[in-house]
Structure 1
Amino acid sequence: MVALAGWGIVEMLPPDHPYAGSWHADADRSTLLDVHTQGMGVTLHAGNTSRVEVTADGGYDDQAPEFSMTASGQTIAVVGTCAGGCSVQLHITLPAALAATVETGGPAISAAGLSGRLDLHTTSGAIDVDNTSGPLTLRSDDGAVTLSGSRSPSAKVTTGDGAVDATFSSAPATVDIKTHDGAVDLRLPKDAGYSIDAHSSGSTPEVALPTDRNASHAIDVETRGGGLKVH
């Protein structure tokens, strides 16, 4: 991928070589999908079979992407590397209840329709999670985190430099959100009681829900820079 600059306009040319591939593994006895990538974005979708299926699409200039998929014990491991001048996205379909750990060295992560435990980490990219019902651990060192329609019983969200926008469709037992430099907008169902701790170094927190220290739903939100809303 080459950038051409002229008269203040930058155009990104497409990669020289297209890249595509597909792989699969039987997950009938697996309890964890473990994904590690460098330079590859990852999208997780719930499937209706007992297999983990991976498709890749994108392109590269000089060095072809490297990819492996192995099953060992109860873990299916996916490893991908996409060096400079390379842009590849992995689309992974997995059983909805299978737990997944994903770590990318940069690009974004998205997940939708899953009920297993999710542990998602990107060093520089956004995380987008939609309609999940398993425990969540979401970490972006430099990127926003969006959580939509969540029925997850617990969520721990951390960003270094990025906003958090989270909506729960059912009351979570615990929520722990911390940002170093980013706003937080948290929406919770109003038919439950919450114990809420909200702290912001850069603004006055806006908490529109009653706080009950004896409530069974614990909400802890902290930001060092940015607005904070709980409603």
Structure 2
Amino acid sequence: MLPPDHPYSGSWQAEAGKSKLLDVRTEGMGVTLKAGDTSRVEVKATGGYDDNAPEISVAPSGEKVAVVGKCAGDCSVQLHITLPAALAAKVETGGPAISAADLTGRLDLHTTSGSIDVDHASGPLTLHSGNGAVTLSDSRSPDASVTTGNGAVDATFASAPAKVNITTHDGAVDLRVPHDAGYYIDAQSSGSTPDVKLPTDRNATHEITVKTHSGGLKVH
């Protein structure tokens, strides 16, 4: 694939001291989230385009900071967003990948066709990819919901989650959790026999539900 004809870069920022949510909506742009040490949301865009220049806006809106990006045609632009670690974030992309690292607030990440990578998160998680893998690394999230239409899920928890719900239609699941807690485990796969290495306790306060239509399933 040839590189885009026109290089593109830009930067924006918005004060988020009174905001409760970072709301990101993009078409044709990937999104990277990382924790910062200020009360601002800072956005940097890098990449290129062939025909129409990207359109990006960053502005406070009520109790949220809204980031909107559009990139049509032959366009390859990535948004690098730095935000306060505890600020909740909701991200919806029309296709490209989403990644997040070192955040403590609630994360609600959705992509129609791209991967999702979340590292060192400690807030509640809702992750959905229509056609892409989801990777959750070193998580301390108490509650995680992960769904994919066509993509594997690889999840590792550094502390025992209270509730995990993972569902894939066509993709393997590999879930690793600490062994110092008791779990009630409901593991179902239409295409294979679930490989569960942990005992299950119906009275346990930690609950794991994993379902896949087509793909291997491992909980350990």
TM-score interval (norm. to shorter): over 0.9
Helix, strand or coil: the match of 1:58? strand
Q: What stretches of structure 1 move > 2 A for 4+ residues in a row?
A: none
Aligned pairs (5 A) from 1:133-212: 133-212=122-201
Q: Following the alignment from structure 1 to structure 2, what is the Cα–Cα distance between the partners of residues 21 and 125?
A: 23
Compute the TM-score of the two structures, normalised by the length of structure 1: 0.95
Q: CA deviation at 1:156?
A: 0.2
Q: Following the alignment from structure 2 to structure 1, what is the Cα–Cα distance between the partners of residues 15 and 131?
A: 34
Compute the TM-score of the two structures, normalised by the length of structure 2: 1.00
CA-to-aligned-CA distance 1:119-160 (integer Å, 9 cap, x gap): 000000000000000000000000000000000000000000
| Alignment match, 1:88 | 77
Quote the RMSD (CA, aligned, Å). Answer: 0.4
Mean Cα deviation higher: 46-55 or 68-77: 68-77
Q: Residue type matched to 2:146 in 1?
A: V
Q: Following the alignment from structure 1 to structure 2, what is the Cα–Cα distance between the partners of residues 84 and 107?
A: 14
Aligned pairs (5 A) from 1:71-82: 71-82=60-71
Aligned pairs (5 A) from 1:22-37: 22-37=11-26
Helix, strand or coil: the match of 1:209? coil
Q: Following the alignment from structure 1 to structure 2, what is the Cα–Cα distance between the partners of residues 73 and 129?
A: 27
Q: Following the alignment from structure 1 to structure 2, what is the Cα–Cα distance between the partners of residues 161 and 125?
A: 10
Q: Residue type matched to 2:135 in 1?
A: T
Q: Following the alignment from structure 1 to structure 2, what is the Cα–Cα distance between the partners of residues 56 and 68?
A: 11
Q: Following the alignment from structure 1 to structure 2, what is the Cα–Cα distance between the partners of residues 73 and 61?
A: 35
Unaligned runs of at least 5 residues, structure 1: 1-11
Q: Residue type matched to 1:224 in 2?
A: H
| Alignment match, 1:226 | 215
Identity of aligned residues (%): 77
Q: CA deviation at 1:72?
A: 1.6
Unaligned runs of at least 5 residues, structure 2: none
